[in-house]
Structure 1
Amino acid sequence: MRLGFKEIVFVSGFLACSTMPMVAETIKGTIVDKQTKEPLTGATVQVLGSTVGAVADLDGNYILDVPGGVYDLVVKYVGYTDIKAGAVKAKGKDVVLNFEMESDAQALSEVSVVARKNLEGERALSMERQKATVAIENLGAKEMSVKGISNVQEGVKKITGISIASAGQLIVRGLGDRYSTTTLNGLPIASPNPDNKLIPLDLFPSSTVRNITVSKVYEAGTFADYSGAHIDISTKENTGKDFFSIGFNTGGRFNTIFQDFYKMDQQYSLFRNPGINQKYIDMPKADFSTAIAKENPFHTTFDVNKSTSLPEFGGNIAGGKNWDVNGQNLSLLAALSASNTNETTKDAFYRTLEAGGTTLDQFNYDSYRQELKLAGLGNLAYTLREADRIGYTFFYARNAENTYMLRQGEDYEDNELIGNNSVTHIYTLQNHQLNGHHEFGQQWDLNWSGSYSKTSSEEPDRRQVMFEKAGNSLELFDLNKQENMRYFGSLNEEEWVGDLRSSYRYGDNNLIRMGATYKDKSRTFRSTRFYYDVSRFNPEIEDIYRTSSFMGYDNIANGDIAIIRDQQPKDQYDAGHSIYAGFIDAEYYPTANFLVNIGVRYEYSHQWVNYATDGGEAKRNEVNCHDFFPAMNLKYTVNDANSLRFSFSRTVTRPSFIEMAPFLYQESYGAAMIRGNAELKNGYNYNIDLRYERFDQQNSNNMFSITGYAKILEDPIERTQTLSGGAAVHSFQNADTGVAAGVEVEFRRELFRDFRVGANASYMYTNVQLPEGGAYTNAQRSLQGASPYLVNADISYAPKFKNDTQLTATLLYNLQGPRIHAVGISGLGDVKQEDLHTLDFVATYKLNDHWNFKLQMTDLLNQDIVFKQEVKDGRKLEVERYGRGTTFELGFSYTL
């Protein structure tokens, strides 16, 4: 068979090419499985009799660069029959050779170790999803890149039935943050956010992530504290190919870039933490009163500075290297990323109402937010022998943001007020993981892993100063001490995890697995307020941005302003949580196409909180439980394309630290007042899922699934509200029962060559009966944060041109249905966020194997976010509105 320069040739089995010479500068093509057409990542193309060769990448593509000459080639992959191609003349133009490999049943039976998979591509993840024991959904690095997804939080929003509520709270199937769990490479990670169970997912940039796997059903091998979703973030690792890449991007929001930008005086840039010398926190109160008159403990003022917002910049760098160490493989991967964001919100407003619809207070505001994100990843892996592997992973992330807000309006006493408020919030995560995999013959394997994570949430210098309009002049507002103040808060958490598990295989596909896990978490929280007493001070105020003349340290030293340090025992607490767990489960095939996975998990949970009452009395509360959690997952494979899955399980919902202790808690000034409940107990959930899946065997881009689910929530923990002195105080109680049920649909299809569409949609019904005794208006309602419907859709066109150039253009749409933002009290209805539509566009251009370029436009519709509240006469009145603005980004990356 003669091969022309532009011809594509498929070679199967031991087919040998004709000895007619083929002229080429490079020999390239793809290597796929003959039956499934799936790419064989890691397959090798080698020049016979030499060490010259190439390895197929994630999509099965290879490029072999050789000097001019005639060569015989051999294609190899573990478990497949070798392919030989002879008399290839490397001179002149390119020739494309695409190989289809056939599996070798005899070779497969002799193989005990299979090369590690690179689970970044959509095809490989689609196969993982199809073959998984339990129902999963996943998203890989390549798809995240194509869709312009910059971090894990943006990624999970694209998965069926998941949305993100205020403050980054994850809502899965209508169930709030408390019903889900997050792991990093399969191991739990502590959260620095005291109000949320889950770690903020935007801490994980996509440049460090290999894939995201979401499981909404329970299996006995994982911790049982989820009924919504188990989100596992898998970080990148080196799978055998040396590389180096660097990327850079710039852009911004159209309503922000090159516009005026305001921020309150900062001690440092966001690369460093501001703060106060600890001695001013620790010294006795009397000593502080003396010290404040002699020295200034604060490194910032209340001045507000104006600048011009410049374009945002971001970048990432990554590299991987492999070494041969006495015949064993040592691999290293390292990645760093950094990005900054400027965001302006203008002409926004919020107000509060009374039950008849009368406005109590209303404020307009402008907000200016800066954010800096840093992340680093390191992975070191060593193969001791063919059946042993150990690895170490280090991950570090730091998200720092500073927000300045200017508010103007009237409070409920008709005071005309202007306020300057500045908040700096810094989240950090440091995580170390060590793991090992060992195989003993054909039947036994052993896996062990351990991790240490340290997280922190710092609010190192929250500042507020309020002014009151008095005719044509301004005065410092001193109605209460909280109007002019500073706040310093710090939360630190450490978590240790150890996991040991082993499996025994018998028969062709059956196995028994067992294991034990230990987790220990500890937390400390400390906060201090400094109130500015200005009751004896009436300065002349001409400029609310230049406050140093009347709020500076000179006015403190001369006695015009008194600083009162407020540091009460109730403003701190210590807490801990230990879990001892063991499990056993089995995978059994009664018939060749029917998989039964059944198991049970035992967990002993010990939670404690040391706190102080409002009166300062030291207290301790504990919640200790012994529980068994059964899980059953069934899979019936109708044929190679179609399958049915059924799952049933029992899981637990535990109270958080601040929920289980009855002290009045406020994470930061301006946040909700929260009082825990010492009578809280665990809630238990009964979960049922039924799913149908179809994966096209001829085209892995095509799939369809439909899922129905139902959850019975026994003793669910619900937030309640009571009135104390006219103000709402949030607390928590076990409700009698709750229900969450719904239907999810997902499909992807290639309509014609290079043109694909995909969509997922979910309809949800949630209901909870609230306990008696609250001030809420509706004793029965949907779960807070739950949208009755969610839709994601995308269209992509990815044509390839000559010389391997490729353009990929993707349009992404998201619809989030209305949901309860805040529970209504005292005759007022619930505050609901209205429907929200977003539309994004991403285009990437692959110039060659080294250069890639990207254009991204986010939130093209630029729809305002609107909140409405129903009053007694049935009217729905707007209580808040703000806009975010459309963003654009230009970027490039270079890979060696």
Structure 2
Amino acid sequence: MCLSITSVLYAQQGTIRGTVTDAADGEPLVGVNILVKGTSNGASTDLDGKFDIKVPSGTYDLRLSYISYESMTVRDIDVAPGEVTVVDNIQLQTATEHMEEVVVSAESINISEAALLTKKKNSPNFLDGISSETITQTGASDAADALKKVTGVSIQGGKYVYVRGLGDRYTKTMLNSVEIPSLDPTKNSLQVDIFPTSLIQNMVINKTATAELPADFTGGIVNIETIDFPEKPIFNVSASTNYNPAMHFNNNFLTNSGSKTDFLGFDSGARALPELAKENQNDIPTPISGASDDQVYNFVNSFNSKLGPTKSTNAMDYTLGLSLGNQFDVGSENKLGYVFSGTYKHSSNHFNNYSFGEYQVPSDPGQTELVRANTQNGKVSEKNVLLGGLAGIAFKTARSKYKLTGMHLQNGERKATNFLINNSESAPGQSGYLGDSHNLEYGERSITNAMLNGTHYFKDGKWEIDWRLSPTLSEMKDPDVRNVTYTLSGQEPNPNYVFNAGAGGYPSRLWRSMDETNLVGRVNISKEYKLLGETATFKFGGSHVYKQRDYEILSYDMAFFGNQPNWTGDPSEILVDENIYGGGSNGVIYYQSGNIEPNPNAYSSNVQKSSFYISNEFSLSQNIKADVGVRAEKYVQRHTGRSVRFAQGDQNARNLDDAKVLDALDFFPSANVTYSLSKDMNFRFSYSKTIARPSFRELSFAQILDPISNRRFNGGLFQIGCDTNGQNCTWDGNLTETRIQNFDFRWEQFFSRNQMLSVSAFYKLFKDPIELVRLRNSPTTSEYQPRNVGNGQVFGAELEIRKSLEFISSAFENIGFNGNVTVVKSQIKMTEDEFQARKDYQRQGQNVDDQRQMAGQAPYIINAGLTYENPEIGFDTGLFYNVKGETLVLVGGGIFPDVYSDPFHSLRFNLNKSFGAASVSLNISNILSEKREEMYQGFRAEDQVYSRFNPGRNVSLGFKYSF
């Protein structure tokens, strides 16, 4: 009976939680006294400015008092039994500006949009971002959707963040202020669509550098902060489905048999490389190696016999999600919080008319229209699985906070394609043939990350120490990528099918694998003190990053010991017993290794980066604040790998054995100055130096083939166009860092109800920028290489406005407009080699300039939204528009024209309605049914396709229930 009575009494109680911040700078206030009027209950705010009071159910007033601040009363707070009532973002005003200041130190919290705007207004550097409050209003299901609203941000491929139109190379993604590598080894930033918005506290984009931030960014650093102490208990179950009329329930969907665990995002071993294939190429059983018929037959049969796709019908996409979180009192002053999220996404895409093209500049300078070298048109079908889990636990005492976060992402993509290839003999280097190409691919990616963080405050509140340790393990596997291309001859409708090495080539298969380890350790120390009569903060700290990557590609080619059988064009007919050598009297097929020893497509690289910084944030006067500092980074990258020529026996060719390919000590000064023209108006200036370094893949000898487009990536260590002595190269293989100087200006005005207006300008100077360049001396193949090109510069301007339409009429008070526009002018001063290559193929009437647009830099970005929100009925909706201007994506020259991405006009509609604990959402994306296109452009020539596909119009319906 006693236990029952206690339980009933406890159930009749509720909890009031809140956060108290300084209205002047948005920083939380520690030690604010909170009293529940009419009772003896009360509390004081902790190191995060938070308080927690348990009271019987009812309606209460809170009185807040703090020395040197105006007291405040918060009235009519309804408390339900067993429920948590959150009073968010209580801001106290200073009572007398010249009163002796109480020094407090606590980390900034930004749950509400008002708090985030306060931080943006008072931050020493240029910030943009989005709070959990705004994420909820927009109905975004993941971080990628939410970030589309932020000034100067564009989302590539639905998952990667680009800032200020600059490409992936110049953007960095961080999780809880720690660097984390990408799931895709070809990308610099982590895909952000894997983070559920229910666990995001805020996302902040730093557009200018400060000494405590890593120096390897230029556009911006995107930092995703997850919730550690949920204000309310979280127990959300969500499900959504997505329908695309052009994609789903298509009975021509291409597929192939996989493994039993494909639905979990990884292969169980069905695509594993046969054991004998791992032997030295001379030990693989072939008819010409002296192996017996049975040995050859058994070896060929150890490979999967399915070489082409089959047709099936695909279903709609779906996503399942689960989020948990809560906090508990542990003793009188301590708290324990936890969060957990699990996500499962299953999606499929089918493109009926996917196109690739290769075009050249005509040799006759009097002609302007581009010459077709090769086109591919066909079907691409994809099935994608993403399984993700994120868990965190946090413990808070009166003066310290500890946080442990773990994350695992598992991604598997199965792809099948069928293309008709039309190769033109009229273009230089082309043989002229028709081909029927079939491809089967499976890509498996995984990333496991842990982060242990501790934050400590000393008794006087003036010293703060924050340390973080974060290991990350990444793995990539592309097992058994299969390609079959028949060369067609004769007349339709019954052409002859044959495998021709000089045309479509022989069937092939390859295995790619990568393992990467990242270890990050960081400590930041800050101390508050008085300077010129004002509060200042002295900061210093250091970090160390270790990275290790091992990469390997193994390839195997089909060969014929005798005449080929009569093919019908069905890939399933190839590896039948009677066609395999040793399987019958007419068997001719065997496999031979395409690998050289030592393997030029294998490398091992590691990075050691040690950093130290010192900075000071202070006030020059009551209206002028500054943050000045310098960061030093010692960066050493070592590489073990070799060129193809060395692997083939040329001892004079390049061979690296744990050799330093980058070794530099750089200093990165930064200065951010803010002049407050009034309480809600600022003018800002920033200067900084930053850097962009080559990736492991770029600083290698790797040659990576895309089996679908048949385009090949070449590592930047390859020397190109050298004479017989290895001298006078068009590219010397010495790929180096890009160093950037950044100048930023901003005027901003803040208004009530989270409205604002800002105008920014920026200038960036690039030394040795890295761009992807078409190899001009390879007319027979489509090959690309990252290179340092001529120096560049970027001029840009940004405009952001957030405005309620209540100025028109009070009836429009719930309707808001938000928009931002970024306009950029970029220039690259070409190298002499590139300029001369363009001059050599100058058209009549054309005057080739030695300057061009910078690759990867969009000339403009527009993000706009019109929203309606009515919290009383739990309803909000919005129409959103995003576009990025025509962007140079591939640098040509000589006979190869440049490639540009066309603008993609994204128009989407969101609607969200809550029904108590349940909510539903409706999203319609790509309402205009725009195509994704990259096009060749030539002087007075019609644009020609480099790649083209139509993602179609998507309609998604989501449901969430909060227990």
Q: TM-score range by the shorter chain?
A: 0.7 to 0.9
Q: Which residue of 2 aligns with 1:806?
A: 874
Identify which range, 38-47 or 475-484, moves more after superposition: 38-47
Matches within 5 A, 1:718-737: 718-720=771-773, 721-724=775-778, 726-737=780-791
Identify which range, 344-353 or 550-559, moves more after superposition: 550-559
For residues 102 and 19 of structure 2, what CA distance do their matches in structure 1 show? 23
For residues 350 and 76 of structure 2, what CA distance do their matches in structure 1 show? 64
Q: 1:781 is matched by which residue type in structure 2?
A: R
CA contact (8 A) 2:229 2:336 kept: no
Give the 3-state SS of the residue equivalent to 2:120 in structure 1.
Answer: helix
Instruction: Determine which of 311, 319, 328 is the counterpart of 1:314.
Output: 319
1:465: how far off?
Answer: 1.1
For residues 564 and 89 of structure 1, what CA distance do their matches in structure 2 show? 75
For residues 625 and 252 of structure 1, what CA distance do their matches in structure 2 show? 51
Q: Which residue of 2 aligns with 1:431?
A: 449
Q: Which residue of 2 aligns with 1:3?
A: none
CA contact (8 A) 2:154 2:162 kept: yes
Normalising by structure 2, we get a TM-score of 0.81
Matches within 5 A, 1:225-240: 225-240=216-231
Q: 1:852 is matched by which residue type in structure 2?
A: S
**1:622 paired to 2:661:** yes
For residues 937 and 86 of structure 2, what CA distance do their matches in structure 1 show? 66
Decide whether aligned partners of structure 1 residues 648 and 279 sit closer, same or farther in structure 2, where only a CA change above 3 A counts: same
Decide whether aligned partners of structure 1 residues 338 and 43 sit closer, same or farther in structure 2, where only a CA change above 3 A counts: farther
Matches within 5 A, 1:138-177: 138-164=129-155, 171-177=162-168
Q: 1:799 is matched by which residue type in structure 2?
A: N
Q: 2:784 is matched by which residue type in structure 1?
A: H
RMSD: 3.8
Give the 3-state SS of the residue equivalent to 2:600 in structure 1.
Answer: helix
Normalising by structure 1, we get a TM-score of 0.87
CA contact (8 A) 1:257 1:311 kept: yes
Identify which range, 453-462 or 479-488, moves more after superposition: 479-488
Decide whether aligned partners of structure 1 residues 323 and 690 sit closer, same or farther in structure 2, where only a CA change above 3 A counts: same
Instruction: Determine which of 768, 777, 782 is the counterpart of 2:828.
Output: 768
Q: 2:713 is matched by which residue type in structure 1?
A: M
Give the 3-state SS of the residue equivalent to 2:832 in structure 1.
Answer: coil
1:708: how far off?
Answer: 0.2
For residues 836 and 523 of structure 1, what CA distance do their matches in structure 2 show? 35
**1:689 paired to 2:689:** no
Instruction: Determine which of 275, 278, 281 is the counterpart of 1:279.
Output: 275
Decide whether aligned partners of structure 1 residues 543 and 145 sit closer, same or farther in structure 2, where only a CA change above 3 A counts: farther
CA contact (8 A) 1:864 1:882 kept: yes
Q: Which residue of 2 aligns with 1:369?
A: 382
For residues 318 and 52 of structure 1, what CA distance do their matches in structure 2 show? 31
Q: Which residue of 2 aligns with 1:197?
A: 188
Matches within 5 A, 1:518-557: 518-534=544-560, 536=562, 538-542=564-568, 544=570, 547-552=571-576, 555-556=579-580
Identify which range, 586-595 or 420-429, moves more after superposition: 420-429
For residues 667 and 880 of structure 1, what CA distance do their matches in structure 2 show? 16
Give the 3-state SS of the residue equivalent to 1:787 in structure 2.
Answer: coil
Q: Which residue of 2 aligns with 1:781?
A: 852
Q: Which residue of 1 aligns with 2:403?
A: 391
* 1:656-714 CA distance string (max 9 Å, x none): 333334x3522654342314234233332111000111111x322x1111110001112
Matches within 5 A, 1:225-374: 225-260=216-251, 261-268=253-260, 269-271=262-264, 272-273=266-267, 274=269, 275-277=271-273, 279-289=275-285, 293-295=297-299, 296-299=301-304, 301-327=306-332, 328-356=334-362, 357-374=370-387
Instruction: Determine which of 794, 797, 803 is the counterpart of 2:868.
Output: 797
* 1:332-366 CA distance string (max 9 Å, x none): 11111111111121123332223132322222111
**1:417 paired to 2:435:** yes
Decide whether aligned partners of structure 1 residues 667 and 515 sit closer, same or farther in structure 2, where only a CA change above 3 A counts: farther
Q: 1:389 is matched by which residue type in structure 2?
A: K
Q: 1:606 is matched by which residue type in structure 2?
A: V
1:562: how far off?
Answer: 1.1
Identify which range, 211-220 or 296-305, moves more after superposition: 296-305
CA contact (8 A) 1:424 1:461 kept: yes
For residues 595 and 206 of structure 2, what CA distance do their matches in structure 1 show? 44
* 1:133-180 CA distance string (max 9 Å, x none): 211111234433443444444444443333355797654334332223
For residues 542 and 43 of structure 1, what CA distance do their matches in structure 2 show? 84
Structure 1: runs of 5+ lacking an equivalent: 1-24
* 1:604-631 CA distance string (max 9 Å, x none): 1111111012131642342111111110
Structure 2: runs of 5+ lacking an equivalent: 1-12, 286-290, 363-369, 425-430, 718-732, 807-812, 842-847
Decide whether aligned partners of structure 1 residues 349 and 101 sit closer, same or farther in structure 2, where only a CA change above 3 A counts: closer
Q: 1:401 is matched by which residue type in structure 2?
A: E
* 1:537-575 CA distance string (max 9 Å, x none): 54444463xx33333466335242111122231010000
How many residue pairs end up in the alignment? 855
Matches within 5 A, 1:661-700: 661=700, 663=701, 665-666=703-704, 668-669=706-707, 670-677=710-717, 678-696=733-751, 698-700=752-754
Decide whether aligned partners of structure 1 residues 478 and 142 sit closer, same or farther in structure 2, where only a CA change above 3 A counts: farther
1:186: how far off?
Answer: 1.0
Instruction: Determine which of 733, 741, 747 is the counterpart of 2:801.
Output: 747
Matches within 5 A, 1:429-508: 429-440=447-458, 441-470=460-489, 471=491, 472-479=494-501, 483-507=506-530, 508=534
For residues 350 and 578 of structure 1, what CA distance do their matches in structure 2 show? 40
Q: Which residue of 2 aligns with 1:712?
A: 765
1:419: how far off?
Answer: 1.1
1:417: how far off?
Answer: 1.5
Give the 3-state SS of the residue equivalent to 1:220 in structure 2.
Answer: coil
Q: Which residue of 2 aligns with 1:22?
A: none
CA contact (8 A) 1:756 1:797 kept: yes
For residues 821 and 249 of structure 2, what CA distance do their matches in structure 1 show? 39
Give the 3-state SS of the residue equivalent to 1:196 in structure 2.
Answer: coil
**1:590 paired to 2:620:** yes
Identify which range, 150-159 or 353-362, moves more after superposition: 150-159
Q: Which residue of 1 aligns with 2:922?
A: 855
Give the 3-state SS of the residue equivalent to 2:523 in structure 1.
Answer: strand
Decide whether aligned partners of structure 1 residues 728 and 77 sit closer, same or farther in structure 2, where only a CA change above 3 A counts: farther
**1:382 paired to 2:442:** no
For residues 19 and 631 of structure 2, what CA distance do their matches in structure 1 show? 43
For residues 154 and 87 of structure 2, what CA distance do their matches in structure 1 show? 45
Give the 3-state SS of the residue equivalent to 2:135 in structure 1.
Answer: helix
1:402: how far off?
Answer: 1.7
Identity across the alignment (%) = 21
1:892: how far off?
Answer: 1.0
